[in-house]
Amino acid sequence: MSLANDSLLAALGQEGVNLSDDDIVIAAGMNTQANSYAIKGQAVRVASAPANGALQLKSLLSNEAPYMWWVINDSGQTIVVFPFLSTAFPEKQGGVNNAGLSIPAGQSGYGFKVSQTTRGGGATNTVDWRSAVIP
């Protein structure tokens, strides 16, 4: 664990955000969006992963996904977080269909939903995450 990851875990705990998957171990071969580990909740910690081990977020379109997510990478490898895989209505990350966020070993990442609405209202169709790595 890095100091930044330890600090993030402490801050999330103080805010009442619980780790939903205790110490994820990503199996060998889980390194594409189609063969990824499904994240079950809002905050997860990856303890072990192969190079480019992949995680997949819950669906934005079905409203299963939380408004924000955090992934703490305590594995010794870079991991990749993908949006939910859908061929009919591709979900996005950073405005790009099916784009992954690479999180280096010892670092964390977070994301939040972006609604495609104007401030005045209108129909909401959320299909995009904005995300970043926390060094």
Cα–Cα distance for residue pair 130/111, rounded to 1 Å: 5
What span, in angstroms and rounded, lies between the C-alpha atoms of 67 and 135?
22
Looking at residue 125, its pLDDT comes to: 61
Q: How confident is the model at residue 36 (pLDDT cuts 50, 70, 90)?
A: very high
pLDDT of residue 41 exceeding 90, the answer is: no
Tokens 């299909």, located at residue: 127
d(CA 16, CA 14): 5
Structure confidence at residue 118 as a pLDDT band (50, 70, 90): low
Kindly tell me if the per-residue pLDDT of 48 is higher than 90.
yes
| pLDDT of the residue at 133 | 98
What integer is the mean pLDDT of 41-62? 93
